[in-house]
Amino acid sequence: MKGMVFIVGAGPGDAELITLKGLKAIEKADVILYDALVDRKLFELIDCTGKELIFVGKRRGDGDGEKRQRVINELMLDLCKKGRTVVRLKGGDPGIFGRLADEIRFLKRNGIPYEVIPGVSSFNGVASHAGVPLTEKGSSSLTVLSGTENFDLNTLINGTFVVMMARENIERVAERLIELGVPESRAVIAVENGTLENQRIVKGTLGDIHEKVRSFTGPTLFIIGDVVSLKP
């Protein structure tokens, strides 16, 4: 496979809220596949001469979403076979209700090299821009729900948990989640010094992750859920 895909988060709306790394990926792209929520003003921030811009946006209620996703997947495959560098540009952050998991599975299955470049998600970006902090002193949790799905307590327990600032307390956190009904065997990934050159990642389960991070000394983020299987 000669080509490559960069999956880039464009941010929550304002074109200037894209990251510098996201802009650099767009600058070196041959083709940009962009979604409906991407502000077209973003393309005025860089020189798009010679780049092919292809709108692949999907909106709820405008047709068969699964079929349109298959079309996008096949387009990425065809372009990469031709040696093109592709930016798959998504609104917000691609990993928050953005079908990133589906596209990663497709790219891995077809041997297509890829890199994910995070973006500012609407859930925190819009709130902050509106002057509303989602946490304050004493806050201990933040739940993000999709309004397109039905949910109950069982749905929440089987969803994804992200635990911040818990390196020294992860065993206690894990025990509490197990008490709430999350299986001890649920997969966990711990990321120390995330995004930095000295980033370190280990995999485990809710029952043993505290043992696997004993040597960690830096800021550590824990991700708990089935999505952990997507990490090689």
Residues identified as active-site: 35, 58, 165
Q: Is 39 helix (H, G, I), strand (E, B) or coil?
A: coil
Q: Is 35 helix (H, G, I), strand (E, B) or coil?
A: coil
DSSP string, 108-140: HHTT--EEEE----HHHHHHHHTT--S--TT--
Picking from 230, 173, 177, 174, the residue whose alpha carbon sits closest to that of residue 201 is 230
Cβ burial 176-185 (10 Å sphere, 16+ → b, else e): ebeeeebeee
89 forms beta bridges with 8, 34
Other residues' Cβ atoms within 10 Å of the Cβ of residue 56: 18
